[in-house]
Copies of this chain bind each other. A is one copy, B any other.
Amino acid sequence: MKTSISQYIDDVAKQARRAANDLATATGETKQRWLERVADMLVEKSDVILRANEVDVSAGRDKGLSEALLDRLLLNTSRIESLADAVRKISTLPDPVGEIIESNKRPNGLLVTKVRVPLGVVFFIYESRPNVTVDAAAICVKAGNAVILRGGSEAFHSNQALFSVLQDSLREANLPEAAIQLVQTTDRAAVGELLKRGDLIDVTIPRGGRSLIERVSTEAQMPVIKHFDGICHVYVDATADEATATEIVINSKCQRPGVCNAAETLLMHSEAADRFWPNLAGKLEERGVELRCCPRSIAGTQSGIEATEDDYRTEYLDLKLSVRIVDTPREAIEHIRRFGSGHTESIVTNCLATANLFQTVVDSAAVMINASTRFNDGGEFGLGAEIGISTDRFHARGPCGLREITSYKYVVHGTGQIRK
């Protein structure tokens, strides 16, 4: 079995590489028309997709998946329509391939241009939500990359049905079918074999829990775009308006507590805390937020409990918030450096100097000034679509859209120049 998996993966990776070569020169128009066809076919074939999804959902129920996980797994007509809309939106984005990123006319007359090209072959590993199958494939191929998809075993039948739509549409559009491949085994050894193929695969993007990302980072022999924890902070400065601060803190914590750009810790300047911490605490508690407080902030709450050092390191992904009162912006910045994960931090302030200090010194993928942490997102940043939010510093940081899965080459236009 081992040998046959390794042979199978070898075929998959080689076919992906060949498809990537062809895809690199596909026109933007071809890719756009393909995506429009994907959107149409998703709706046309929704019966088949929904039947396959039912098999997964009922198997998941039998396996005792939680209601939350079953909901993530579930497709219905309106979800398929949203998925088709998302694909249509990607279809209308400008083709990133061939964009001249910059150019430089040299004194000797050479025109040096830096041209965007696809990265090549993307290996994308993800868990449960079947709509990610279509999203990821659409983004990768739009950027001229071949993609090897490895979905979660819970969504196996749904992914197969979606994959067959993708295959049919590629064939219709005269694009190489191997531009999108779905790994046809749930054997975990297949992942290990793919992670060895740094010779054929240009980047691996794991999207899922910490253990998946850690396994991939350790084993991968190619670059990895990682998406680790978001331990995001809101710092309410001495000069912050109560109304603005209250809205931003509540939005950052409560609007969707289960995602990586939700706030986990509130840092509050003591002067702001004196003015309105009890009011703010009350509003958070009304919304069911459990407050885990430093000794100074616990007094202003109804039912706050004392925070442990570990709490400040925890991504709750839940209606829980760590709170700490500080006496200077520097103290807040120090806390973020010590406990943060470099994902998203927000400052609420009316002081220009403090805003400047915070945005310069805080080294996170996104620093928000007077805005909710929840805006760290490809759509909200105007990238059009997103394949994940990178917590790496190398190549791609923050939301990853089309351009973050491209590379570039230099094209130099001369008239016979030689080097002296």
Contacts and interface: CB of A to CB of B under 8 A. Distances in A.
A413 interface: yes
B25 A371 contact: no
B367 A418 contact: no
Please classify the interface of chain A as helix (H, G, I), strand (E, B), loop, or mixed, using the class held by over half of its residues.
Answer: mixed
B120 A369 contact: no
A375 B408 contact: no
Given A112-B382, A369-B411, A381-B410, 15 more contacts: A24-B361, A25-B360, A106-B381, A117-B363, A119-B393, A120-B393, A202-B394, A248-B418, A251-B419, A366-B410, A367-B410, A369-B414, A370-B415, A371-B413, A376-B412
Copies in the complex: 2
Given A24-B363, A394-B203, A372 B411 contact: no
Interface string A352-390: 000000011101111111111011100011100000000
A237 to B, nearest CB: 13
Contacts of A375: 110, 412, 414, 417, 419
Task: Indicate the member of A24, A374, A381, A411 with the most B CB atoms within 10 Å.
Answer: A411
Contact of A417 (B372, B393, B407, B414): B372
A393 B395 CA distance: 10
Nearest to A250: B418
Given A244-B416, A363-B24, A393 B407 contact: yes
Interface string A229-253: 0000000000001011001101100
